[in-house]
């Protein structure tokens, strides 16, 4: 059954709750009304001849200009080897979508991931909590307006450019070495020579243990 035929069946069953199929691209999608998504999914899973028993993927897309977060369902059928993509639009301010976890168990963790990264609440989900980020993480990172909180639990999230940092450390060490071992004769220009300022290519030094034994 082609995707168009699956879409025809959907339209026959649900009427205006299912939008038109998108242009024939790689994965044609249809936008479904948010409150009917569970019925649509259950129909797609159980209808004879359609039987989309595999929830391949469940992700989201953040559209700040359109002020929606789209939740995307990639559905496939092992039995008939056909599939369709559905999209549901959730308002960006308080995104809330009914959970399809009752239809496909695979949606359990996928919806947790969407909650973790986008902040979309799935009503009816048995265990909606963060799945990848630490439990006390603030914010939803994949939103377009996400700002990092400047570190986590005291670990800062900024780092000097290693090229700049290593050059600075090199120069401190060279100065110390030159101070401790003054050049033996005015003609000997050996002291600054070994300091090959190889910049970024320099193998990073093993820094002496802080308060290590001083010469």
The residue ranges that bind another protein (CB under 8 A) are 132-134, 141, 146, 148, 151-159, 162, 169-170, 173-174, 177, 180, 194-196, 202-215
Residue 126 beta carbon to another protein: minimum distance, rounded to whole angstroms: 24
- What 33-40 contacts at long range (C-beta under 8 Å, 24+ apart), as own/partner pairs, is 33/88, 34/88, 34/89, 34/90, 34/97, 34/98, 35/98, 37/73, 37/86, 37/88, 37/97, 37/98, 37/100, 38/98, 38/99, 38/100, 38/102, 38/103, 38/124, 39/14, 40/10, 40/14, 40/86
> Min. distance of Cβ 140 from another protein in angstroms?
10
Q: List C-alpha distances in Å: 151 to 69, 155, 157.
A: 27, 5, 5
Using CA atoms in the order 97, 103, 105, 109, what is the torsion angle rounded to 10 degrees?
A: -10
Closest CB 160 distance from another protein, rounded Å: 9
**Pick 23 or 135: Cβ nearer another protein:** 135
Q: To the nearest whole angstrom, how small is the minimum distance from the Cβ of residue 206 to another protein?
A: 4
Of the two residues 15 and 156, which places its CB atom closer to another protein in the complex? 156
Residue 128 burial (CB count, 10 A):
19
Q: Of 91 and 178, which has the nearer Cβ to another protein? A: 178
Q: Which is closer to another protein, CB of 93 or CB of 155?
A: 155
φ, ψ of residue 54 to 5 degrees: the values are: -125, 115
CB of 64 to another protein, least distance (A): 18
Task: Find the shortest distance in angstroms from Cβ 142 to another protein.
Answer: 9
- Rounded to 10 deg, the angle between the 3-14 and 37-46 helix axes is 120
Query: 156 or 182: whose CB is closer to another protein?
Result: 156
Nearer to another protein, 31 or 133 (CB): 133
């Amino acid at each position: 059954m082609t995707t168009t035929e699956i879409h025809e069946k959907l339209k026959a069953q649900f009427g205006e709750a299912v939008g038109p199929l998108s242009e024939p691209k790689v994965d044609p999608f249809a936008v479904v009304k948010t409150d009917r998504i569970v019925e649509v999914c259950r129909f797609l899973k159980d209808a004879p001849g359609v039987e989309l028993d595999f929830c391949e993927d469940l992700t989201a897309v953040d559209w700040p200009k359109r002020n929606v977060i789209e939740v995307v369902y990639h559905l496939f059928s092992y039995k008939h080897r056909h599939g369709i993509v559905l999209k549901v639009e959730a308002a960006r301010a308080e995104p809330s979508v009914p959970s399809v976890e009752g239809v496909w168990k695979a949606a359990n963790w996928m919806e947790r991931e969407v909650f973790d990264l986008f902040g979309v609440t799935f009503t009816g989900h048995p265990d909606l909590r963060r799945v990848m980020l630490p439990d006390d993480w603030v914010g939803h990172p994949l939103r377009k307006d996400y700002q990092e909180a400047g570190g986590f639990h005291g670990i800062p999230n900024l780092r000097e450019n290693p090229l700049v940092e290593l050059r600075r450390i090199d120069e401190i060490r060279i100065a110390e070495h030159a101070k401790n071992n003054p050049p033996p004769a005015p003609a000997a220009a050996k002291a600054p020579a070994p300091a090959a300022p190889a910049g970024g290519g320099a193998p990073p030094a093993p820094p002496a243990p802080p308060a290590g034994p001083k010469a």
